[in-house]
Structure 1
Amino acid sequence: MDLGRLGHLAYSTLVHPGDTWDEMRASLETYAPAVKQRVSPAEPYGVSLRLSGASARTLAGDPGERTRLRNWLAQHDMYVFTVNAFPYGPFKGRAVMADVYEPDWASEERVAYTNQVADILADITPASVSPSIQTAPLAFGANVRAEEDVTRITGNLLRAVAHLIDLEQRTHRRVKLALEPEPFCLLETTAETLDYFRRHVWSPEGIRTLCGLTGLPASEAAGLVRRHLGVVFDIGHQSVEFEDIAAALRSLRDAGLPVFKLQAAAALRVPEVTEDAVAALGAFTDTIYLSQTTEARDGRLTKMLNLADAIDAWRKDPTGTREWRTHFHVPIFLDDLGGFRTTRSGIEDALALHADVPLSDHLEIETYTWDVLPAHLKTGDITDYIVREWTWLRDCLDRSAAAHDHATGQGEVR
């Protein structure tokens, strides 16, 4: 949905089956019309499309299927404006864990996959939008062992940027690539992400590399890299890092690092770890996804790869007061989970800032964990769940926009 100055809004179809194009097409045709009918019956409806490596190969190699997709979208008054090209392989119904980052940006496969998705987007999206590609945070941190690894990763990333520059020159379609920082990855915190861009992408060496790939002068390459490469800011991820969400977003804005997608996601929060809380957390440990957890204790942050690791450490030493935040996506419309809380306040802070000065032209709701949520958090079917998240976000945006208009006098009758 086009929200005017506040950008385009969609929910992530990563929540649905979509490991192959047949699966993704079936999910799209099943769920998107049902959600549109309830949230945007009379207005064009924006779609965030998950494309796996297999789906990208299918669509890239089949012009007829791309035409079929374009026609179906037009017939249903829908348009794609963003693609999740982060998980390359299977994502549903099996253990994913750290494999979700593979192939990473050190590999040829990641470059080829991303370029295929860019070409598909240039073909299927309306000329009125500049579509974005959500991609992995370069690599799982433990797999990056030397500066040479970072150099290889950056070189591959800039090859993808060069492809986007060439694509726009050939088709007049601007496609944007957005890296998504995540706990335990090469890009993890907002500060680390800014440091990476300054030291590697925007550096003299980075610009020279892009000049060599494109044949353009440095005066043009320096601007084009910002035109095509930025970040996804996942509010849930950065909340797990205990970041001040509004301050983190301001730091990106002030540094000129584009936020090509602002992602509304809430993480599980345990304000005080107790025996009762640990016992109840068992419902959240049986998951196919990583559950990176950060512990705040005595003014110090400790990071653990999974919630189960945090529980094991607590059982060995349960003394002291501590708070946990864990990378388990929970419904954004909930703040109180009955014994636990969520990081929903970070979403509210981000939307208030966005309503004042828009941070991104792409907004997305990303709660993909419906299939592994504890039963007591599932109310209604998946369509009910998506609509409830959508409605909450729209209401929060409306309140933030009204507060902005009141503060600036824009809402006054003249």
Structure 2
Amino acid sequence: MKTKYGHLTYCSNIHPGETWSDHFLQLKENLPMIRANVSPNAPMGIGLRLSNEASLELIKPDIISEFQAWLTKEGFYVFLINGFPYGGFHNTAVKENVYHPDWATTDRLNYTLRLFSILSQLLPEGLEGGVSTPPISYQFFDKTDAERKQRVKSATQNITELLHHLIQIQMDTGKVLHLDIEPEPDGILGNVELWIRWYLDVFLPKSIPGIQSQWGFTKKIAESKVRDHIRICLDVCHSAVSFEENNTVVRLLRENSIKVGRIQISSALKVKFPENPKPTLDLLKHFEEPTYLHQVVIKSKDGQLESFPDLPNALQRDVKPFEEWRIHFHVPVFLDSYDLLSSTQSELVSLLNLQKELTFTNALEVETYTWEVLPKELQTPITTSIIRELFWVKSILDREINL
């Protein structure tokens, strides 16, 4: 739905279905009821998740025409695509496989090019559209610095090739499409600071000369093209897990003229251990599950940070009183506590208030997919849960800012 501070939607990765036909059935079953509740009098945007398999189906002219007709009939429009998970995302052990294939491969490049081809056909006139994507790769895939440097070099070349396609799409259609690279703990671009360092020191110097050569642009115009088409995806769960401070993040992005392709509106688990940590620790053990990576960053009493690649790794160490843990769980945003545990909802509200003050993006996408962690008495059908999430975000956006 359109709000004063951007187009608000949710990511359809909550719905199962790796084939397009299965996923489309889920959309038809859930989306009309959601729109009827949150945007009954106006069209509603969709944050569309497409696996590689689904994209191979949807790119076919007859299939995409059928989808376009349904969007028009039901009052929807697509302006975002989630291109992070290439393969299965439900009912399988995703873990670090979510990074395969990474940006050092042509498979990732071809998949993302296909997503942009789809988006260019679905995107309404007058709107910008983005595809989210991993932060190059997973840092633990490489055993040596030399391997890491080669992976980053290959990935940078592939993203540069994609950039040329996005410039061509803009020249042919007038539509501005952007790749939204998403920092995530333990990604090669694991936080906003690392993302900015790669963008300024590696990507801009690599991409600008090629754009000047191919298109005849001045250096200034070439750089503006890079900044238009390659943006950051600001996932609030991820930045909270890394203990990144929102004011600092937004200041760094603005100081370096980096555009935000979208805010992914999400909350992480926050755990503050009391003097007797055992009851809290016992409760936290129930959150161990085999599907997704749940990176953990621990802040000690003296402010030192310690990272673990997954929750079971963190649970193997001795817990110390007064530590604060941040855990990569995309928990529902409307809740701030789960019994003895809490969420990073306050950090999310802080970023949304900065968006209200500065409006640094036009795309707001709720990305909650761990509904099973809800207390039993709060569990509701998925459609009701999504409606509740969107209403909560809208209530924050509608709230007056106290400066």
Give the C-alpha shift of residue 275 in structure 1: 0.8
Residue aligning to 1:103: 101
Rate the CA distance shift 1:303–1:212 in 2: closer, same or farther, 3 A: farther
Residue aligning to 1:188: 190
1:311 aligns with 2:315: yes
Aligned residues: 396
Q: Deviations over 1:97-141 (max 9, x none)?
A: 000011100000111111111111111121121111111111001
1:52 aligns with 2:55: no
Contact kept? 1:378, 1:385, Cα under 8 Å: no
Residue aligning to 1:33: 32
Residue aligning to 1:395: 395
Give the C-alpha shift of residue 210 in structure 1: 3.9
Residue aligning to 2:118: 120
Secondary structure at the aligned position of 1:79 is classed as strand
Contact kept? 1:158, 1:210, Cα under 8 Å: no
- Greater mean deviation of Cα atoms: 297-306 or 205-214: 205-214
Residue aligning to 1:148: 150
How far, CA to CA, are the matches of 1:193 and 1:69 in structure 2?
A: 35
Residue aligning to 2:75: 77
1:357 aligns with 2:358: yes
Rate the CA distance shift 1:377–1:57 in 2: closer, same or farther, 3 A: farther
How far, CA to CA, are the matches of 2:156 and 2:377 in structure 1?
A: 41
How far, CA to CA, are the matches of 1:267 and 1:214 in structure 2?
A: 43
User: What letter corresponds to residue 58 of structure 2 in structure 1?
Assistant: L
- Greater mean deviation of Cα atoms: 376-385 or 207-216: 207-216
1:289 aligns with 2:297: no
Q: Deviations over 1:325-350 (max 9, x none)?
A: 10011110111111011000111101
Contact kept? 1:87, 1:100, Cα under 8 Å: yes
How far, CA to CA, are the matches of 2:214 and 2:290 in structure 1?
A: 42
How far, CA to CA, are the matches of 2:121 and 2:76 in structure 1?
A: 15
User: What letter corresponds to residue 77 of structure 1 in structure 2?
Assistant: G
Contact kept? 2:126, 2:175, Cα under 8 Å: no
Residue aligning to 1:136: 134
Residue aligning to 1:276: 279
TM-score computed with the length of structure 1 as normaliser: 0.92
Contact kept? 1:18, 1:51, Cα under 8 Å: no
Q: Deviations over 1:2-54 (max 9, x none)?
A: 114x1111011010013110121111111110111111111111111001111
User: What letter corresponds to residue 339 of structure 1 in structure 2?
Assistant: L
User: What letter corresponds to residue 286 of structure 2 in structure 1?
Assistant: A
User: What letter corresponds to residue 231 of structure 2 in structure 1?
Assistant: G
How far, CA to CA, are the matches of 1:356 and 1:368 in structure 2?
A: 28
User: What letter corresponds to residue 116 of structure 2 in structure 1?
Assistant: A
Secondary structure at the aligned position of 1:313 is classed as coil
How far, CA to CA, are the matches of 1:342 and 1:53 in structure 2?
A: 32
Contact kept? 2:113, 2:162, Cα under 8 Å: yes
Question: Kindly, what percent of the aligned residue pairs are identical?
Answer: 31
Contact kept? 1:264, 1:366, Cα under 8 Å: yes
Q: How does 1:367-378 map to 2 (within 5 A)?
A: 367-370=368-371, 372-373=372-373, 376=376, 378=378
- Unaligned 5+ segments in structure 2 are none
Contact kept? 2:14, 2:369, Cα under 8 Å: yes
How far, CA to CA, are the matches of 1:320 and 1:379 in structure 2?
A: 31
Give the C-alpha shift of residue 357 in structure 1: 1.1
- Greater mean deviation of Cα atoms: 180-189 or 137-146: 137-146
How far, CA to CA, are the matches of 1:98 and 1:166 in structure 2?
A: 33
Secondary structure at the aligned position of 1:81 is classed as strand
TM-score computed with the length of structure 2 as normaliser: 0.95
- Unaligned 5+ segments in structure 1 are 408-414
How far, CA to CA, are the matches of 2:118 and 2:315 in structure 1?
A: 44
Give the C-alpha shift of residue 168 in structure 1: 1.2
Q: Deviations over 1:174-198 (max 9, x none)?
A: 2111000000001111111111111
Give the C-alpha shift of residue 379 in structure 1: 2.1
Rate the CA distance shift 1:375–1:20 in 2: closer, same or farther, 3 A: farther
- Greater mean deviation of Cα atoms: 226-235 or 372-381: 372-381
Contact kept? 2:295, 2:311, Cα under 8 Å: yes
Contact kept? 1:159, 1:213, Cα under 8 Å: no
Residue aligning to 1:411: none
Contact kept? 1:295, 1:303, Cα under 8 Å: yes
Contact kept? 1:284, 1:374, Cα under 8 Å: no
